[in-house]
């Protein structure tokens, strides 16, 4: 505890938990508590990254017992990067939420209750996310996933609309089923190895039973991260939530299960070639099906939600790009894409929420008829799309470049084709939205004053804009980011 690195790790876990308690007990002050904790967590994440950069990895043995009897927290480059992304996106979304739900004084009874409940749920979600990124024990990861799941379901139904409640119920069923499969897998691993920590998993003899147990865990996690064809719950859940909640669900929540899959691949003894090919095929399905659905979506937020499905698929293609032998490198491409998607999607959902608030609807077909053009929010949306499509110099571009480079080096040109197809599709469906932003000839004529590009601007537009710009600019410092991700992996993949 005296070491600064360990201090930041414990702070990242307990600060949001204490904040959640305070925000729930003091509902009137929830926005201040929540915003303060979000900024505090960002500070702690920066401190942690600084320490990881200078001293390397760190471990906290909770209770002083140490693994395998006790539970260890561990941080390396990948964990620290995920924590920093979560904290940064979370802080920006919190700013957006202060705007959406009103500050100290609720603007109406309609926003009073969502405002009261958003903060404790979001801070509990943050606790769970940070716990996953610090965790090294598969049972503990299951518990953290449950914390995330309940908080996320709460955020999904925050608006209280019928569509949101229905989507939230579907999400909860999918989520519980996924958690159950994960738990059964964990149970079978424990039965065979007698321990639950990553260290025990890495040292185990690969056996048929262990593969079956890990396959169960994989299916449960795929359901949680909405990998095709287990994505059915995601579009409705993410599209019907309030904008800040959508941003959190899409940018952060699905990443927790995805991160656990990456960690399992890292620590499991001899992942089979079949599993890796299966991941690539499911990812391909997600890219194609998600793209078609995004092209057909009639509402802006639904399109953005389907784009999450395709991006999750892309991340699995990134993991599969070079087969089992290539995992030692391909996890980095996946990690870069996870970070890029988190930053860009958080910005995009906030921007979509602002556009909807200013225009009054989010039907893509009628965006170009609106005389109101919230220029800053549209710019934020476009910047986020640049990173998601993968145009240089964005972080998304670096990720896709690494996927294609790795796939070519391994001779797997089919993954290159898939990645390119996904990129073209994403250009196509985001262009539907851009056309709505940029066409002016269909604006209904009799509007006094004509098109008002300046209307629909608010100081709150700068939050998603800054986040989206960050997603683009991070591509310029890709080399240090990649170096940072490798901290604790000096020997590459174990």
Partner 1 sequence: MTDLLLLFDMLLGLLIIGLAVAALRVRDLFAMVVMFVTFGLMTALAWVRLAAPDVALAEAAIGTGVTGALLLKTLYHLRRVSGTLHLPEALSERPPDPQVPRAVIAANAVMCGLVVIGLAAAFVTAPLGGPGFDAAVADAMPESGVDHPVTAVLLNFRAYDTLMEVVVLLAAVIAVWLVERSLPQSDPPVMGEVYEGFARLVLPGAVVVGVYVLWAGAVAPGGAFQGGAVLAAVGLLLLMSHVYEPAPAHRAAARGLFVLGVAVFTGVALLVAWGGRAVFEYPPGLAKPLILLIEGMVTISIAATLAALFHGREPGVQPRPADTSEGAQ
- Footprint of partner 1 on residues 156-185 (CB under 8 A)? 157-165, 168, 181, 184-185
**Which helix (H) or strand (E) segment is 74 a member of?**
strand 71-75
- Residue in 104, 20, 10 with CA at minimum distance from that of residue 51: 10
Pair of tokens at residue 61: 């043995």
User: Judged by CB under 8 A, does residue 124 bind partner 1?
Assistant: yes
User: Could you tell me the smallest distance in angstroms from the CB atom of residue 102 to partner 1?
Assistant: 13
User: Judged by CB under 8 A, does residue 274 bind partner 1?
Assistant: no
Q: Is 288 exposed, middle or buried (0-12, 13-18, 19+ CB in 10 A)?
A: middle
User: Of 170 and 486, which CB lies nearer to partner 1 in the complex structure?
Assistant: 170
- Single out the segment in contact with partner 1 by CB under 8 A; choices: 30-38, 126-134, 268-276, 397-405: 126-134
Helix (H, G, I), strand (E, B) or coil at 101: coil
Footprint (CB under 8 A) of partner 1, residues 31-90: 60-65, 68-71
User: Judged by CB under 8 A, does residue 1 bind partner 1?
Assistant: yes
Residue 477: count other Cβ atoms within 10 Å of its Cβ: 13
**How many whole angstroms separate alpha carbon 243 and alpha carbon 323?**
38
- Single out the segment in contact with partner 1 by CB under 8 A; choices: 34-42, 210-218, 283-291, 443-451: 210-218
Q: Which of 37, 45, 213, 344 binds partner 1 (CB under 8 A)?
A: 213
Helix (H, G, I), strand (E, B) or coil at 364: helix
Pair of tokens at residue 304: 């953005």
Q: Which of 5, 8, 12, 17 binds partner 1 (CB under 8 A)?
A: 17
Footprint (CB under 8 A) of partner 1, residues 297-336: 299, 301
User: Of 159 and 370, which CB lies nearer to partner 1 in the complex structure?
Assistant: 159
User: Could you tell me the smallest distance in angstroms from the CB atom of residue 61 to partner 1?
Assistant: 6
Helix (H, G, I), strand (E, B) or coil at 380: helix
Q: Which of 44, 83, 144, 481 binds partner 1 (CB under 8 A)?
A: 144
Helix axes 375-389, 395-409, angle to 10 degrees: 10
User: Judged by CB under 8 A, does residue 29 bind partner 1?
Assistant: no
Q: Which of 74, 115, 195, 400 binds partner 1 (CB under 8 A)?
A: 195
Q: Is 445 exposed, middle or buried (0-12, 13-18, 19+ CB in 10 A)?
A: exposed
Q: Which of 263, 267, 356, 373 binds partner 1 (CB under 8 A)?
A: 356
User: Of 110 and 273, which CB lies nearer to partner 1 in the complex structure?
Assistant: 110
- Single out the segment in contact with partner 1 by CB under 8 A; choices: 78-86, 310-318, 351-359, 463-471: 351-359
Pair of tokens at residue 317: 């293609």
Q: Among the residues of 194-299, which ranges form H helices? A: 198-202, 208-225, 234-240, 243-248, 254-267, 273-296
**How many whole angstroms separate alpha carbon 186 and alpha carbon 10?**
25
User: Judged by CB under 8 A, does residue 282 bind partner 1?
Assistant: no
User: Judged by CB under 8 A, does residue 113 bind partner 1?
Assistant: yes
For the chain, how many helices (H) and strands (E)? 19, 2
User: Of 66 and 392, which CB lies nearer to partner 1 in the complex structure?
Assistant: 66
User: Judged by CB under 8 A, does residue 108 bind partner 1?
Assistant: no
At 484, give phi and psi (nearest 5°). Answer: -65, -40
- Single out the segment in contact with partner 1 by CB under 8 A; choices: 49-57, 125-133, 403-411, 445-453: 125-133
Give the torsion sign (CA, 399, 401, 407, 410): negative
User: Could you tell me the smallest distance in angstroms from the CB atom of residue 323 to partner 1?
Assistant: 22
Q: Which of 19, 280, 353, 406 binds partner 1 (CB under 8 A)?
A: 353
User: Could you tell me the smallest distance in angstroms from the CB atom of residue 316 to partner 1?
Assistant: 17
């Amino acid at each position: 505890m005296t070491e600064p690195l360990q201090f930041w790790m414990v702070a990242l876990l307990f600060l949001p938990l204490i904040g959640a308690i305070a925000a729930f007990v003091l509902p009137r002050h929830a926005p201040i508590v929540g915003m303060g904790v979000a900024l505090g967590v960002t500070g702690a994440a920066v401190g942690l990254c600084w320490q990881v950069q200078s001293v390397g990895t760190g471990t906290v043995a909770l209770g002083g017992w140490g693994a395998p009897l006790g539970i260890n927290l561990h941080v390396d480059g990948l964990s620290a990067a995920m924590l920093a992304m979560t904290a940064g996106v979370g802080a920006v979304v919190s700013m957006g939420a202060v705007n959406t739900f009103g500050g100290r004084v609720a603007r109406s009874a309609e926003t009073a209750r969502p405002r009261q409940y958003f903060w404790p749920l979001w801070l509990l979600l943050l606790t769970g996310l940070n716990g996953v990124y610090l965790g090294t024990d598969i049972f503990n990861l299951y518990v953290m996933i449950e914390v995330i799941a309940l908080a996320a379901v709460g955020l999904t139904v925050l608006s209280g609309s019928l569509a949101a409640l229905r989507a939230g119920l579907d999400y909860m069923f999918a989520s519980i089923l996924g958690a159950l499969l994960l738990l059964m897998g964990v149970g079978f691993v424990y039965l065979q190895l007698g321990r639950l920590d990553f260290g025990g998993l890495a040292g185990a003899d690969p056996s048929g039973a262990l593969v079956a147990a890990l396959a169960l865990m994989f299916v449960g996690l795929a359901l949680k991260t909405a990998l095709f064809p287990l994505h059915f719950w995601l579009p409705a859940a993410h599209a019907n939530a309030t904008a800040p909640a959508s941003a959190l669900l899409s940018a952060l929540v699905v990443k927790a299960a995805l991160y656990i899959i990456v960690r399992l691949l890292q620590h499991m003894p001899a992942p089979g070639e079949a599993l890796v090919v299966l991941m690539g095929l499911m990812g391909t399905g997600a890219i194609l099906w998600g793209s078609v659905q995004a092209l057909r979506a009639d509402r802006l937020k639904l399109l953005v939600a389907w784009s999450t499905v395709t991006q999750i698929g892309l991340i699995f293609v990134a993991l599969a790009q070079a087969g089992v032998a290539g995992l030692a490198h391909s996890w980095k491409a996946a990690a870069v894409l996870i970070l890029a998607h988190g930053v860009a999607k958080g910005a995009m959902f906030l921007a979509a929420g602002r556009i909807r608030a200013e225009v009054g609807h989010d039907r893509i077909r009628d965006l170009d008829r609106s005389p109101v053009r919230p220029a800053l929010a549209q710019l934020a949306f476009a910047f986020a799309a640049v990173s998601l499509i993968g145009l240089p110099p964005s972080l998304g571009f670096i990720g896709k470049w690494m996927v294609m480079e790795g796939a070519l080096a391994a001779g797997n040109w089919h993954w290159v084709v898939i990645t390119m197809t996904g990129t073209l599709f994403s250009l196509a469906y985001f262009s539907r939205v851009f056309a709505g932003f940029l066409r002016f000839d269909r604006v209904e004529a009799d509007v006094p004053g004509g098109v008002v590009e300046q209307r629909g601007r608010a100081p709150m537009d700068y939050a998603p804009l800054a986040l989206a710009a960050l997603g683009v600019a991070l591509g310029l410092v890709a080399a240090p980011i990649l170096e940072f991700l490798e901290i604790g992996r000096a020997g590459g993949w174990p």
